[in-house]
Amino acid sequence: MSDDSASPGGPGPSGLHSYLHEGGPGVIRPYWRAVAQERLATETWTVPALCAAYQWPTGLAGGGKIAIVELNGGWTSSDMQQFFTGISQPMPQIQDVSVDGTSNAPNQHLGDPHDPDGEVALDIEVAAAAYYVATGQPADIRMYWAQDIATAVRAATTDGCDVCSISWGADEANWGAAAGNDIEQAATAATAAGMVVFAASGDNDSSDGGPNAANVDLPASAPHVVGCGGTRKTAGDETVWNDNPGQATGEGSGGGFSTLFTPMPGWQLGAPHGQGRMVPDVAANADPVTGYQVVVHGQTQFVGGTSAVAPLYAGLFAAFGTKLGFITPKLYANSVCFNDITVGDNGAFRAGVGPDPCTGLGSPIGSRLANLFAPNP
């Protein structure tokens, strides 16, 4: 499961955009991780419990429309009913949007650790549950099915969505400059229209599954995307997620410095200096050993990955009920809204005081973020 050089759940060659043809099958992969029962810590999290641990606000006006980008897999109503009934929440509104002929297609590959259905379920369940905790209202979710992330982001922008969650990606080297710039252009247009874009920073530590010890993941490395890294959170502490400490190629929070988007943006206040844009910007619990309780194929599973972090933030920011657009500079100017993670490493980089290329600014203090971004009542 730690070897992500090619994910069987990813789209095959016929589904890849032309700029990715050299990467082979599954070059873009989902960032979710299941965990065997024997590896579970004594603490896993329901989404409402994790929100409470992150001091989630309650009673917000809400109204934000959540876009979720998916490249493969699918979801079922029965899974959603089981999950939301289990946490005493109503079903969200879920609408499927086919961007290019790709569609909701659950494959029912029970037990496959790379099953993209696990990604899809995780995205919907985390985003909607986080939104409900903050608002007391069912979420409005639009699922954008596509083979091209940039095209899906543009479709969500056109439809007026308020936040967008992306849990798929690949090492920058697999994209190249033309494709990377296309992602950034789509994200720039999205934020100009008021949509906040969140993306997972990857689950293979600082290597991102690439050939070197330090690589970063797209779309998270695009400057107008909020990159979402991972922590290992228990009730007692929170550290960088890295199941293979000191190694750059294990399972853990992706992060580092872009070689595509240079120089480093001036708004990354207080961050260690690097050649280009630092990733991630923010973080939250992602270690599958302290993972999220979700329902996939009728079974409760314990999962993690930085792909849980993007929808967690998307659910919170949709609860603010206003178009916020390019929020990243404001995040860096308000680090008090985050729990600074100072212990751990992701291989090539170590956590420290202030922003770092393991967990960015840190994990959310939801009430402070609400005070910063939510409209005054």
Q: Please check the confidence at residue 3 and state whether its pLDDT lies above 60.
A: no
In a domain, 63, yes or no: yes
In a domain, 41, yes or no: yes
Mean pLDDT over residues 319-331, rounded?
97
Share of the chain above pLDDT 70, in %: 87
Interval 22-31: pLDDT, tens: 233 347 767 6
Bridge pairing between strands 282-285 and 226-233: parallel
Mean pLDDT over residues 118-136, rounded?
97
Band of pLDDT at residue 8, cut at 50, 70 and 90 = very low
- DSSP E strand stretches across the chain: 29-30, 33-34, 65-70, 93-98, 140-145, 163-166, 168-171, 196-200, 217-218, 226-233, 238-240, 256-257, 278-279, 282-285, 292-296, 299-304, 338-339, 363-364
3-state DSSP assignment of residue 33: strand
- Where is average pLDDT lowest: 18-27, 28-37, 77-86, 100-109? 18-27
Q: Please check the confidence at residue 293 and state whether its pLDDT lies above 80.
A: yes
Residue 6's H or E segment, with its range, is: none
Sign for the CA dihedral angle at 120, 305, 30, 298 comes to negative
For residue 337, which of 306, 316, 315, 308 has the smallest C-alpha distance?
316
Q: Please check the confidence at residue 6 and state whether its pLDDT lies above 90.
A: no
For residue 206, which of 165, 236, 250 has the smallest C-alpha distance?
250
In a domain, 16, yes or no: no
Interval 208-267: pLDDT, tens: 988 888 999 999 999 999 999 999 999 999 999 998 888 888 899 999 999 999 999 999
Q: What is the pLDDT of residue 15?
A: 30
Domain that holds residue 113: 23-372
Known catalytic residue at 367: no
In a domain, 146, yes or no: yes
In a domain, 358, yes or no: yes
In a domain, 5, yes or no: no
Residue with tokens 């949509």: 195
Q: What is the pLDDT of residue 2?
A: 30
How many domains does the chain divide into? 1
For residue 132, which of 34, 250, 51, 33 has the smallest C-alpha distance?
51
Contact between residue 219 and residue 225 where contact means Cβ atoms under 8 Å apart: yes
Q: Write down the catalytic residue from 7, 201, 307, 363.
A: 307
CATH number of the structural domain spanning residue 156: 3.40.50.200
Total residue length of the chain:
377
- DSSP E strand stretches across 167-225: 168-171, 196-200, 217-218
For residue 199, which of 368, 350, 295, 71 has the smallest C-alpha distance?
71
3-state DSSP assignment of residue 76: coil
Q: Write down the catalytic residue from 115, 119, 148, 205.
A: 119
Among 24-28, 43-47, 169-173, 357-361, the range of highest mean pLDDT: 357-361
Q: What average pLDDT is seen over the chain?
A: 89
Known catalytic residue at 119: yes
Q: Please check the confidence at residue 193 and state whether its pLDDT lies above 50.
A: yes
Q: What is the pLDDT of residue 343?
A: 97
Q: Write down the catalytic residue from 79, 123, 140, 243.
A: 123
In a domain, 15, yes or no: no
Known catalytic residue at 172: no
CA distances from 298 to 37, 44, 132 (A): 17, 19, 22
In a domain, 237, yes or no: yes
